[in-house]
Amino acid sequence: MATTVETRYTRRARYYSSLDGFNVKSPRVPAHVFLPERDCALDPTAPTGLIPLDQSGPLALDFPATTPLILARYARIRAGERLATRFAASGQIYYAIAGGGETRWGDEAIAWDEGDAFCLPGDVAAVHAAGARDCVLWIVTNEPELAFERAAPPAPDTAPIEAVHYPVDEIRRHLEAILRLPPMPAMPGKAVNLGSQVLERQRTVMPSLTLALNSLPPGEAQRAHRHNAVAVTLVVQGDRCYSMVDGTRVDWHRHAAMITPPGDLHSHHNEGDGLALFLIVQDGGLHYHCRTMGFSYK
């Protein structure tokens, strides 16, 4: 056998057995409700700025992350003020929790109102201007996905998504049509999934992320199920609602975001008198692409 010549490249090599190579230990994605961050975003005395939902500590990551591939934030913009953003992501998802305003980037702009959703390509320099009332936006990106690989975001003109706007009236109109459908055992929930023309084949809002407004009528429960995609959920409306996540009750709080860990058996319950609505972002697009969604009922 020839003698290996040691070089700086060979010194970098590491070798593992099949046991060590497939037994990587990482912290679980914890179930969590972001109440202090919600309260800060809705505080009328709080200044204009971003409030990240960062769990990089529990996840043992060296970059901000809500889940391994997703970073969510609240953006608070006081009446008449502006907030400039630029995210190292391949796409950006926005939902208007309160107020109305305009988001402008380059020579383009979207005027949004409470309950609207919209998406922008990643790495665009955007300015969000509040109207006559204080505004709160919920923003979700895939910055951790790019940070994991130390990848640069695509240029806006080559981004995998285009700017798209979902007005609240259109979202609700499509949801009402779905609510009128007869019960079907195979339907996991009555939700409207938001997509775009450029990703029509994938039926996702971004290549790796999905966005849906789910609903739960009063007195009903969504059947216990699990999936490999993580869920980052924003409660839009609903009183006396909760989830059961691996046997633990997680109460809902309006406009608070919560995490359902991947693979955990979970169900949703509405014991109130009105329709519950909850906006869900998942890394489902990635699992669809990898054929690993793993959706199943109990």
Quote the pLDDT of residue 189. 78
Residue 16 has pLDDT above 90, yes or no: no
Question: If pLDDT is split at 50, 70 and 90, which confidence band does 156 have?
Answer: confident
| pLDDT at 11 > cutoff 80 | yes
Residue 186: pLDDT band by 50, 70, 90 thresholds?
A: low
d(CA 30, CA 226): 15
d(CA 171, CA 246): 31
The pLDDT score that the predictor gives to residue 53 is 98
| 3-class secondary-structure state, position 271 | coil
Q: What is the pLDDT of residue 158?
A: 87
Question: What is the layout of strands, in order, in the sheet containing 257-260?
Answer: 32-33, 257-260, 231-237, 276-282, 210-216, 190-194
For residue 188, pLDDT beyond 90: no
pLDDT, average across residues 83-101: 97
* 12: CB partners within 8 A, 6+ apart: none
Rounded CA separation 203/198 (Å): 9
Mean per-residue pLDDT over the chain, rounded: 94
pLDDT band at 99 (very low <50, low <70, confident <90, very high): very high
H helix runs in the chain, sequence order: 18-21, 35-42, 56-59, 143-149, 168-179, 284-290
- Write out 162-217 in H/E/C secondary structure: CCEEECHHHHHHHHHHHHCCCCCCCCCCEEEEECCHHHCCCCCCCCCCEEEEEEEC
User: Percent of the chain scored above 90 by pLDDT?
Assistant: 87
DSSP state of 272: S
The pLDDT, as a whole number, for residue 18 is 82
What are the residue ranges spanned by the domains of the chain? Answer: 28-150+160-297
Residues 65, 66, 68, CA angle at the centre, nearest 5°? 65
CATH architecture of 28-150+160-297: Sandwich (2.60)
pLDDT exceeds cutoff 80 at 183 = no
Q: How far apart are the first and last CA of the chain?
A: 56
Higher pLDDT residue, 209 or 2? 209
Please provide residue 153's backbone torsions phi and psi, each rounded to the nearest 5 degrees: -65, 150
Among 148-157, 246-255, 276-285, the minimum mean pLDDT is found in: 148-157
Across 43-52, 124-133, 174-183, least confident range: 174-183
187-196, 211-220, 247-256: the lowest-pLDDT one: 187-196
Task: Over range 190-206, report the average pLDDT.
Answer: 94
**pLDDT interval class at 201 (50, 70, 90):** very high
Provide the token pair at 126.
């955007």
The pLDDT of residue 139 is above 70:
yes
pLDDT of residue 181: 87
Sign for the pseudo-dihedral over CA of 263, 62, 95, 97:
positive
Contact residues for 115 (Cβ-Cβ < 8 A; gap 6+): 96, 168, 171, 172, 236
Res. 185 pLDDT band, cuts 50 70 90: low
Residue pair 258/33 in contact by the 8 Å Cβ criterion = yes
Radius of gyration of the chain from its Cα atoms, rounded to whole angstroms: 21
pLDDT band at 118 (very low <50, low <70, confident <90, very high): very high
